[in-house]
Amino acid sequence: MWVRLATSILVLTASLATAQDKLCATAAASTVDHDAGVIVQKVTLNGKWGRNDATVYLPEKEIADGAVVFSHSAIHVDTGTSVDLRPFALTLAHAGAAVIVPERSLIWPPTDRSMNREGAVVICAEHWLIDHTKVFNNGEPTLNDNKFVRWGYAYVGPRVCDPAVRSDCDFTSPFTAEDCALKHYCREAVYVDIGETSGGDNTRGFISDGGLRPTRWVEKELGLTPSDSLAVR
């Protein structure tokens, strides 16, 4: 089941905000390709946690219709199946969204509580996307009669471990929790919960569907113009 996830504003100390801000170093992107109205870039996310190469897909327009953060670029299943998530990301970019995809694999099913949940890379991907893209309505959800009819942001992946909690994996999601101490990064988002073991095996459903159903769902929730099919890349 795909989930609507609204952030809550948390009142945190200035020291926590400073610590979170130092999590992600400045990273510049370079353009490597163009794909039918989509600019493809590479960026190396980095910080005190390490580094990760990510792919960015940007629609060739000044203001994107929405923005999407992926936790992983592929799913590796215990049956030996591998699924590339980049066509899913590229399809959303063709539909009008700015998308960032860290280059790493989600192992399914996980063998321990913290597997697939490295929080720093996902949070830094989120920060980079917010810093480097302009989103419709400044990324704020659109309401009609006090009902959410269009969201600005989406996240595809599992809950992640809070990088500020070293003793154990304290689950959180990008766009929430300590991010709200830095108002610049506090956003509301919808959530495609792949990589989760609770609430049924949505990950295998995602794999068997080829990502088509969640793609359509994200397009609808972000108010994107649906494409005819998943992009092949």
Would you state the pLDDT for residue 17? 42
Q: Is the pTM of this model over 0.85?
A: yes
- Asked if residue 229 is part of any domain, the answer here is no
- Asked if residue 95 is part of any domain, the answer here is yes
Would you state the pLDDT for residue 15? 35
Q: Which of 184, 190, 181, 122 is nearest to 152 (CA)?
A: 190
- Range of the structural domain that residue 165 is part of: 3-222
- Pinpoint the alpha helices (H) of 56-200: 86-94, 119-132
pLDDT tens-digit map of 144-170:
888 889 999 999 999 999 888 878 888
User: What confidence category does residue 184 fall into, taking pLDDT thresholds of 50, 70 and 90?
Assistant: confident
Would you state the pLDDT for residue 7? 44
pLDDT tens-digit map of 83-111:
999 999 999 999 999 999 999 999 999 99
Contact indicator for 134, 63 with CB cutoff of 8 Å: yes
**Alpha carbon distance 210, 226 (integer Å):** 16
Which tokens hold the place of 104?
């790493």
- Asked if residue 230 is part of any domain, the answer here is no
- Asked if residue 51 is part of any domain, the answer here is yes
- Asked if residue 232 is part of any domain, the answer here is no
User: What confidence category does residue 116 fall into, taking pLDDT thresholds of 50, 70 and 90?
Assistant: very high
Contact indicator for 81, 106 with CB cutoff of 8 Å: no
Number of domains in the chain: 1
Would you state the pLDDT for residue 180? 75
Contact indicator for 115, 42 with CB cutoff of 8 Å: no
- Asked if residue 126 is part of any domain, the answer here is yes
Would you state the pLDDT for residue 11? 31
- Asked if residue 65 is part of any domain, the answer here is yes
- Would you give the distance in Å from CA 54 to the centre of its chain? 12
- Asked if residue 227 is part of any domain, the answer here is no
Task: Please check the confidence at residue 186 and state whether its pLDDT lies above 50.
Answer: yes
Task: To the nearest 10°, report the CA torsion of 101, 173, 224, 97.
Answer: -30
